[in-house]
Amino acid sequence: MLKVAKFGGSSVAGADQFKKVKAIMEAEEGRKIIVVSAAGKRSGDDHKLTDLLYLCHAHITYGVSCADIIETIRKRFVEIRDELGLEYNIEAEFDKLMPRLNKSMGVDELVSRGEYLTGRLMAEYLGYEFVDAADVILFGFDGHIDREKTYSAIKEAYEKHGRILIPGFYGKLPGGKIKLMSRGGSDITGAMAAAAVQADVYENWTDVSGILMADPRIVDQPSPIEKISYAELRELAYMGASVLHEESILPVKEPGIALNIRNTNRPQDPGTMIVDNIQEDDDEQERFITGIAGRQNYSIITVIKRNMDLSGSLRKALEILDRYHAVVEHITLGLDTYAFVTATEPLGDSIYDILADLQKTVRPDELTVKEGISLVAAVGRKMTSKPGISGKLFKALGDNGVNIRTIAQGADELSIIVGVENADFEKAIRVLYEGFAG
Ligand code: ASP
């Protein structure tokens, strides 16, 4: 079984973590491609190399020396190398870099050295061929990754060397310049590699045993999700669950490659398996919620107008919202009313213009805005076509004194989303978790 394994910053933060990575890579013959982030934090008060490199570049921009920061970074690499008895000439790399640390050096090239050097050390440690991302992750003139060229370059390197390491997070523009992805972009590099070689599994190794069923800052020790479909993952991620870089999903979802999120510090845990079609086994627990997520600070704009032409009025109102770039999350409809749920902050003061335009155009009997709303989503493929689920959820929230301001169910019945007061946000998540997920 061919696997691409991507290790995040905390998995490669120091020599001890390198040892864990090696044990994992050696445990399965099929792990032939590895992608690494730059060394991350070793403890709470430590710094990610990527952050230090960005900081260094900011110093350069303002004409302040970043020699101290560069020295800290150099030491981190030397420490890892020496502790593992490796030979890679880190000093020579920094000797080459130092004279170039001036305003002419682009931020992308400088920051990419975090992944590059972490990758150099890891490749030597594992005995894998180092393949520079600048040679295989190829951006087009439009700044997007050219998938076709990238896939064929990765495939060629893999076929030539058999076991390869690609540093994450960067690639090359057509003119030869290095280009970074957005933060967390090594997830994308890993996904590209998995798609390029048509891997069976894309493993994403991090420091938690999979995606958690709810935010651990709100729910005490939530269980990890064992299996989740790509569609459920999308709902959870959209509603605020922090998972992978969003652009890393499509390249593996499309060809049907399974994505497995694992914990480098607990390789015995199976982690979360994300697949397209889940075969349910009957003896699985009777949980019908896969995960719970939510976001705060929405507004509900409500229009009431007796005897109105609902669809005509709604169309005009939507046009107004569109004009002010308001993203409508939900619409609720009644006979003589409709309401929109939209994020408060991006609207800013244009809410006053929206209200004025609505007043003028749809001439409502009543027009109200209610701010301070949170949306909480219960997501679960097993909710589909099962009667009584929403009733149970609403009852649990009601029994616990959570007042529901809006209700929405995805047309695919994959999620039920309730709007509650911001003050009830955490309580709603806890009630749903404790009642139906935990
Ligand atoms: N090192 C980069 C970051 O911290 C990229 C990554 O880790 O994926 O964002």
Nearest partner of 263 among 210, 322, 299, 303, judged by Cα: 210
Look at residue 43 and tell me if it is in a domain: yes
Q: What is the Cα–Cα distance from 271 to 204, expressed in whole angstroms?
A: 10
| Cβ of residue 206 lying under 6 Å from some atom of ligand 1 | no
Q: Are 282 and 233 in contact (CB under 8 A)?
A: no
CATH number (domain holding residue 312): 3.30.2130.10
Look at residue 361 and tell me if it is in a domain: yes
Q: How far is the CA of 184 from the centre of ligand 1 (A)?
A: 4
Shortest-distance Cα residue to atom 8 of ligand 1? 184
Q: Are 335 and 375 in contact (CB under 8 A)?
A: no
Q: How far is the CA of 278 from the centre of ligand 1 (A)?
A: 30
| Torsion (CA) 217, 223, 224, 225 in degrees, nearest 10 | -120
Q: How far is the CA of 309 from the centre of ligand 1 (A)?
A: 52
Q: How far is the CA of 178 from the centre of ligand 1 (A)?
A: 15
Look at residue 230 and tell me if it is in a domain: no
Look at residue 96 and tell me if it is in a domain: yes
Closest approach atom of ligand 1 to CA 185: 8
> 24 and 133 share a domain?
yes
Domain hosting 387: range is: 291-436
Look at residue 231 and tell me if it is in a domain: no
Shortest-distance Cα residue to atom 5 of ligand 1? 184
pLDDT in tens, 287-299: 788 999 999 999 9
Nearest partner of 229 among 433, 415, 429, judged by Cα: 415
pTM to 2 decimal places: 0.88
pLDDT in tens, 240-259: 777 789 899 999 999 999 99
Name the pairing type of β-strands 31-36 and 129-130. unpaired
Q: Are 303 and 364 in contact (CB under 8 A)?
A: yes
> 46 and 191 share a domain?
yes
Q: How far, in Å, are 288, 344, 437 from residue 393 at the CA level?
A: 11, 26, 11
Residue 438 confidence (pLDDT) above 70: no
Question: Percent of the chain having pLDDT more than 70?
Answer: 98
- Mean pLDDT, residues 168-179 taken together: 96
| Cβ of residue 48 lying under 6 Å from some atom of ligand 1 | yes
CATH number (domain holding residue 55): 3.40.1160.10
Q: What is the Cα–Cα distance from 198 to 160, expressed in whole angstroms?
A: 16
Q: Are 49 and 40 in contact (CB under 8 A)?
A: yes
Angle between helices 15-27 and 107-126 (to 10 degrees): 60
Residue 244: predicted pLDDT: 87
pLDDT in tens, 204-252: 999 999 999 999 999 999 999 999 999 899 888 888 777 789 899 999 9
> 330 and 203 share a domain?
no
- Mean pLDDT, residues 406-413 taken together: 83
| Cβ of residue 184 lying under 6 Å from some atom of ligand 1 | yes
Mean pLDDT, the chain, rounded, equals 93
Residue 285: predicted pLDDT: 55
Look at residue 108 and tell me if it is in a domain: yes
> Last residue of a domain, which of 157, 190, 207?
207
Question: Percent of the chain having pLDDT more than 90?
Answer: 83
Q: Are 129 and 145 in contact (CB under 8 A)?
A: no
Which residues share a beta bridge with 246?
A: none
